[in-house]
Structure 1
Amino acid sequence: MSIRLSALSKACAAVLLAATVIAAVGSAPRALAADDRLQFTGTTLSGAPFNGASLQGKPAVLWFWAPFCPFCNAEAPGVSRVAAANPGVTFVGVAGHSDVGAEQTFVSKYGLNFTNLNDADGSIWARYNVPWQPAYVFYRADGSSTFVNNPTSAMSQQELSDRVAALRS
Structure 2
Amino acid sequence: MAAVAAEYEGRVTFLGMPGRGAVGEMREFVADTGTGGLTHVVDGDGALWQRFEVFSQPAFAFIGADGTARTFSGSLDPESLRRAVDELLAG
TM-score (structure 2 length as normaliser): 0.82
Check the 8 A contact 1:91/1:115 in 2, yes or no: yes
Check the 8 A contact 1:135/1:147 in 2, yes or no: yes
TM-score (structure 1 length as normaliser): 0.48
C-alpha RMSD of matched pairs (Å)? 1.6
**Structure 1 residue 85 displacement after superposition:** 0.7
Give, in whole Å, the separation in 2 of the partners of 1:136 and 1:125.
Answer: 10
Other-structure match for 2:8 = 86
1:162 counterpart = 2:86 = no
1:101 counterpart = 2:28 = no
Task: Specify the code of the residue in structure 1 equivalent to 2:47.
Answer: S
Identity rate, percent: 33
Residue of structure 2 aligned with 1:127, choices 48, 51, 63: 51
**Structure 1 residue 139 displacement after superposition:** 1.6
**Structure 1 residue 146 displacement after superposition:** 1.5
Q: How many residues align?
A: 88
Alignment of 1:1-169 (within 5 A): 79-87=1-9, 88-109=11-32, 110-150=34-74, 154-169=75-90
Check the 8 A contact 1:137/1:145 in 2, yes or no: yes
Task: Specify the code of the residue in structure 2 equivalent to 1:105.
Answer: E
4+ runs of 1 displaced by more than 2 Å?
A: 142-145
SS at match of 2:50: helix
Residues 1:121 and 1:83: Cα distance change in structure 2 (over 3 Å)? same
Residues 1:164 and 1:84: Cα distance change in structure 2 (over 3 Å)? same
SS at match of 2:70: strand
| 1:84-131 deviations in Å (ceiling 9; x for gaps) | 110110111123231111211221231331211111221211122211
SS at match of 1:95: coil
